[in-house]
Amino acid sequence: MEQSGKVLMINYEKCTGCRLCELVCSVKHDGISNPMRSRIKVMKWEAEGLYVPMSCQQCQDAPCMKGCPVKAISRNPELNRVEIDYDVCIGCRTCVSVCPFGAMSFNTIDRKVIKCDLCDGDPQCVRFCEVKAVEYVDAGDVSIKKKKAAAHRLSVASKEGAVLYAAQA
């Protein structure tokens, strides 16, 4: 059977909003602390306590790859990632404009586009996130984990329903 490859799985409900992932991403890649250099970014709605880490989905049919006019973006099947060849990239930022997730960023200091490279198979955001809001799992397992969580919610709801029904009867 063919390996499906690993992907970042984000469970935003667990995110505490601390942005350590942004710090370690930026320092790991550039030796510099600057959230603008981070490939992962926590989007926040502080007034409601909602924090959602956003990063590249490594799409199968990636718009950035399709849209790149010089074919600088390609899929690396070994690491299951979409990657940029900076020797070819002309910095036109078409990829930034077509990405539906805003996951392709433009670094205004080095004047180049940046995206998650999964740290070549050892994502540091995952290594540092103690609450496991970001995990690195087999692509096929993401839905299994979600199914299980949903099933648990359903079973709890049906139990509560049964209790309610019994109480009424």
Interface residues with another protein (CB under 8 A) are: 13-20, 23-24, 27-28, 31-37, 44, 46-49, 51, 108-109, 127-128, 130-131
Residue with smaller CB distance to another protein, 50 or 88: 50
Residue with smaller CB distance to another protein, 30 or 138: 30
For 101-131, give the DSSP string.
Answer: TS-SEEETTTTEEE---GGGG--HHHHH-TT
The least CB distance from residue 55 to another protein, in Å, is: 17
The least CB distance from residue 104 to another protein, in Å, is: 17
Which residues fall within 8 angstroms of residue 43, CB to CB, at 6 or more apart?
Answer: 51, 52, 53, 54
Task: Give the C-alpha separation, 137 to 77, whole Å.
Answer: 16
Hey, what are 5's tokens? 């490859």
The least CB distance from residue 85 to another protein, in Å, is: 25
Residue with smaller CB distance to another protein, 19 or 81: 19
Task: Give the C-alpha separation, 141 to 152, whole Å.
Answer: 17
Residue with smaller CB distance to another protein, 43 or 88: 43
The least CB distance from residue 10 to another protein, in Å, is: 13
Alpha helices, DSSP H only, in 53-110?
63-67, 94-98
Residue with smaller CB distance to another protein, 14 or 93: 14
Hey, what are 42's tokens? 């926590």
The least CB distance from residue 5 to another protein, in Å, is: 26
Beta bridge partners of 40: none
